[in-house]
C-alpha cells in the first residue's frame, strides 16, 4: 500500500527565510505526486504536481518541488517565504494507473512570523 | 480549472440526526467521486469512492450503512451521515477523479 511521510509537523520561519518541507513516499510503481496548501478556514488548493518529465516542478505562488526517484522524495521549496504563506501543506501521491484516490501525508503546518 | 461545489460548508446537528452533504461538478462530468474526511490535526483519509450508476466502495473501517453515498448523476454525488454521533464530527471533502485533482470546499460537521 502507498504511504506518504511528512517529517515536519510544524515549521516556524521568519519572513524572507527559505523553506523546504520534506515528503517521502513508499510505493513500488510509477506515481504522480502533489503538494496542496490549505489556508486557515479555506479549502485545499493545488500548489503543484509532478507526472513525468523534468523532476523540478514549478508551481503557483513561487513554490517548487523536486522529485528524486532514488530517494522516493518530493520536497517542497520556496526561496523566501511571506507571512501569507502561513498554512497547512499536504503532500500526496497517486499511483500512475489513474482514476485512483490520492494518499495524503499528515501535513506540515507552516507559521511565518514577521 | 474544474469547479466542484460542496454544500453545506458547515453544519451543526444533534446526535442521532442525519446530515446530507452534496458535491456538484459545475463544468464537467464526474463519473467517480472520492470522499475524504479529515479529523483535527490529521491528514485527509479516503472514506469511500462513489461511481455514477453503481454502488459505492468503502475503505476498511468505514461503515457503509452509516455513510450513505449516492451518485445518481454525472454532476452530483451525496454523502449522508446517518444517526450522527459526536465521533463523526470531522471535515468531509469530496474530489472528483476527473477535474484536475481539485477538491470541494469541504463540510465541517459538528455533532453535539
Q: Which CA distances in Å does B41 have to A1, A4, B90?
A: 23, 16, 11
Query: Distance (Å) from the C-alpha of residue A44 to the closest C-alpha of chain B?
Result: 6
Question: Smallest Cβ distance to A99: which of B32, B104, B106?
Answer: B32
* B102: nearest CB among A46, A99, A105: A46
Return left, alpha or beta for A111; rule: phi > 0 is left, psi -120 to 50 is alpha, else beta: beta
What string of pLDDT tens digits covers the 112 residues of chain B? 578 899 999 999 999 999 999 999 888 888 899 999 998 878 899 999 998 888 999 999 999 999 999 998 889 999 999 999 999 999 999 999 876 678 888 999 999 9
SS (H, E, C) A29-76: CCEEEEEEEECCCCCEEEEEEECCCCCEEECHHHCEEEEEHHHCEEEE
Q: What is the pLDDT of residues A85-99, one digit of tens each?
A: 999 999 999 886 667
- Minimum Cα–Cα distance from A101: chain B residue: B34
Amino acid at each position: 500500500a502507498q504511504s506518504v511521510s511528512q517529517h515536519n509537523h510544524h515549521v516556524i520561519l521568519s519572513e524572507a527565510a527559505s523553506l523546504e518541507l520534506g515528503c517521502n513516499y513508499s510505493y513500488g510503481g510509477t506515481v504522480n505526486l502533489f503538494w496542496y496548501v490549505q489556508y486557515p478556514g479555506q479549502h485545499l488548493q493545488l500548489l503543484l504536481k509532478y507526472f513525468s518529465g523534468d523532476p523540478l516542478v514549478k508551481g503557483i505562488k513561487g513554490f517548487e518541488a523536486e522529485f528524486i526517484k532514488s530517494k522516493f522524495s518530493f520536497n517542497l521549496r520556496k526561496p523566501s517565504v511571506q507571512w501569507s504563506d502561513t498554512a497547512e501543506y499536504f503532500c500526496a501521491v497517486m499511483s500512475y494507473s489513474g482514476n485512483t484516490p490520492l494518499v495524503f501525508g499528515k501535513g506540515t503546518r507552516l507559521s511565518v512570523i514577521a | 480549472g474544474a469547479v466542484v461545489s460542496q454544500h453545506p460548508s458547515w453544519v451543526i446537528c444533534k446526535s442521532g440526526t442525519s446530515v446530507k452533504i452534496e458535491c456538484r461538478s459545475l463544468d464537467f462530468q464526474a463519473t467517480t467521486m472520492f470522499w475524504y474526511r479529515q479529523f483535527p490535526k490529521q491528514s485527509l483519509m479516503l472514506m469511500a469512492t462513489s461511481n455514477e450508476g453503481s454502488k459505492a466502495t468503502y475503505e476498511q473501517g468505514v461503515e457503509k450503512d452509516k455513510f450513505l453515498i449516492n451518485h445518481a448523476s454525472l454532476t452530483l454525488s451525496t454523502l449522508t451521515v446517518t444517526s450522527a454521533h459526536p465521533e463523526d464530527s470531522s471535515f468531509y471533502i469530496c474530489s472528483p477523479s476527473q477535474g484536475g485533482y481539485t477538491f470541494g470546499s469541504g463540510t465541517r460537521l459538528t455533532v453535539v
